[in-house]
């Protein structure tokens, strides 16, 4: 798991050097996607959420959903402002 996390970080680092060759939206999406993947792996395997009762992982997801709501709706406002 550590190797995967380091590998993912290495990909991010190398992507930054290729930034000029990748369309910006794809670049940002890939980076955030990699960050999200790493976060999920840390949560599942380092924080042991994979092995905890489902009620606990559902609990965690609630916070993420609410945080996402805040950001999404705020950016919807920005888009229309």
Partner 1 sequence: MSQDIFPPRVRRWLFTTNHKEVGILYLVTALFFFIAAGLLALTVRTQLSVPDNNVLNADLYNQFVTVHGLLMIFWVLSPFAFGFANYIIPLQIGARDLAFPRLNAMSYWFYLFSGVAIIMSFIFGAPDLGWTLYSPQTSFQFTPAIGLNVGAAALILITVSITMSSVNFLVTVFKMRAPGMKLRNMPVFPWAILVTIFMMLYAFPSFLAAVLLLYVDRAFGTFYFSSIQGGALLWDNVFWFFGHPEVYIVLFPAIGLIADVIPTFARRPLYGSKYIIGSMIAAAIISFIVWGHHMFVTGIGLTSTKLYTVTTIAVSLPFDVMVIAMIETLIKARVKLKAAALFALGAIALFVIGGITGVYLASVALDHALRGTYFVVAHFHYIMVGGSIMGLIAGLYYWFPKFTGRMYNETVAKIHFGVSFIGFNILYFPMFLLLDMPRRIQTYTADTGWGPLNSLATLGGFIFGGAQVLLFLNLVVSQRRGPPSGPNPWDAWTLEWSLPSPVPAHDFDTIPTIAEDGTYRFGNGSSYPNGSAHSGDSKVGNGLAYSHLEGMSPWPIVMAFAAFLFFLGLSIGQPSSPTPVSYKPFWPLIADGAILGVISLYGYSRERFSGHEESHVESWPFREVPNVKLGIWTFLGAEVIFFGVLIGAYFFVRTNSATWPAVGELFSIRNGFAMTLVLLTSSLTAIMALASAKIGSRNGLIAGLLATFGLGASFLYIKATEWIELGTHGVFSVASGLPATSYFITTGTHGVHVVAGMCMTVYLLANTVRGRYIKGDYHAIEHFGLYWHFVDIVWVFLFPLFYLI
Nearest distance, CB of residue 23 and partner 1, angstroms:
13
Distance CA 5, CA 9 (A): 6
CA distance 12 to 31: 6
The answer to whether residue 38 forms part of the interface with partner 1 (CB under 8 A) is yes
For partner 1, the binding residue among 21, 25, 26, 55 (CB under 8 A) is: 55
Is residue 11 part of the contact set for partner 1 (CB under 8 A)?
A: no
Q: Strand, coil or helix: what is 65?
A: helix
23, 25, 26, 66: residue in contact with partner 1 (rule CB under 8 A): 66
């Amino acid at each position: 798991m550590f190797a995967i996390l380091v590998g993912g970080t290495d990909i991010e680092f190398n992507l930054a050097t290729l930034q000029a060759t990748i369309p910006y939206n794809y670049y940002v999406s890939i980076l955030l996607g990699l960050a999200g993947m790493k976060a999920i792996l840390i949560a599942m395997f380092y924080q042991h959420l994979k092995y905890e009762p489902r009620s606990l992982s559902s609990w965690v997801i609630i916070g993420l959903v609410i945080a996402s709501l805040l950001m999404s709706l705020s950016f919807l406002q920005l888009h229309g402002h």
